[in-house]
Amino acid sequence: KQEVTQIPAALSVPEGENLVLNCSFTDSAIYNLQWFRQDPGKGLTSLLLIQSSQREQTSGRLNASLDKSSGRSTLYIAASQPGDSATYLCATNSGGSNYKLTFGKGTLLTVNP
Amino acid sequence: NAGVTQTPKFRVLKTGQSMTLLCAQDMNHEYMYWYRQDPGMGLRLIHYSVGEGTTAKGEVPDGYNVSRLKKQNFLLGLESAAPSQTSVYFCASKFGGGSYEQYFGPGTRLTVT
């Protein structure tokens, strides 16, 4: 059974700092890994999807990497802004399925002005 | 495109009452999902559908039923609500199997007293 862990559970940084969020998974036989953002009281917004054949994906100030062999993914946020404050969740395939996801519990990021 | 919409946004039920949550998507997505999100537990899959007329159990299906009579709609029913079903419910959809992103609705906050 796939298990996804995100450490730390919470992170507080000053504005402008570069930061890394971590995601680890136990079953490396994945199809893809997806990073989401969740604002308080809202649904999840997809940020990046990395296919199993890829090493990284970039979107603006965000860069996600994937190392299947070690069961790890990182989300790098450059030049953080107060508007980046949110909970960030990673999710990857569960049970050999290419359409069901197992989610981590998220990292609550606070960027202080 | 409205994306994924959920009705209602909030609901309070008494123990033993029934209700139906409606999810609608206008992206012609084949796959649809119902999750619940609880503090400390993360997102857990309740039921899902891989196409019109199909449904399948997820991780925590007990106490819930679903129907997918039309491709664009996925209904989640609670026949006899219990306090343990107090949660935030999210619907999601995906174009197909493989490396497509899941898109989430805004959520329904349900309280069972």
Q: What residues in chain B have their Cβ under 8 A from chain A's Cβ atoms?
A: 4, 31, 33, 40-43, 45, 48, 50, 58, 90, 92, 94, 96-107
Taking contacts as CB-CB distances below 8 angstroms, the residues of chain B near A101 are: 45, 102
What pLDDT, in 10s, does the model give residues A13-34? 999 999 999 999 999 888 899 9
Q: Please give the pLDDT value at position A94.
A: 67
Instruction: Calculate the average pLDDT of chain B.
Output: 95
Q: What six digits make up the tokens of B70?
A: 């039309």
Determine whether the interchain pair A34/B50 forms a contact, defined as Cβ–Cβ distance below 8 Å.
no
**Are B58 and A31 within 8 A, CB to CB?**
no
- What the block records as the tokens of A22 is 């971590």
For residues B8 and A113, give the distance between their C-alpha atoms in angstroms, rounded to a whole number. Answer: 36
B21, B43, B49: best to mutate for the A interface, most A CBs within 10 A: B43
Chain A nearest-CA residue for B89: A43
Q: What is the pLDDT of residue B40?
A: 85
A86 touches A37 (CB < 8 A): yes
pLDDT at residue B5 greater than cutoff 90: yes
Report the candidate in B60, B6, B62, B68 with the shortest Cα–Cα distance to residue B37.
Answer: B60
Residue A93 has pLDDT above 90, yes or no: no
The percent of residues in chain B predicted with pLDDT above 70, rounded, is: 100
Tokens at residue B13, please? 């039920």
DSSP assignment letter at B28: -
Q: What are phi and psi of A102, to 5 degrees?
A: -110, 130
Rounded to a whole number of angstroms, the distance from the CA of B92 to the nearest CA of chain A is 9
The percent of residues above 90 in pLDDT, for chain B, comes to: 89
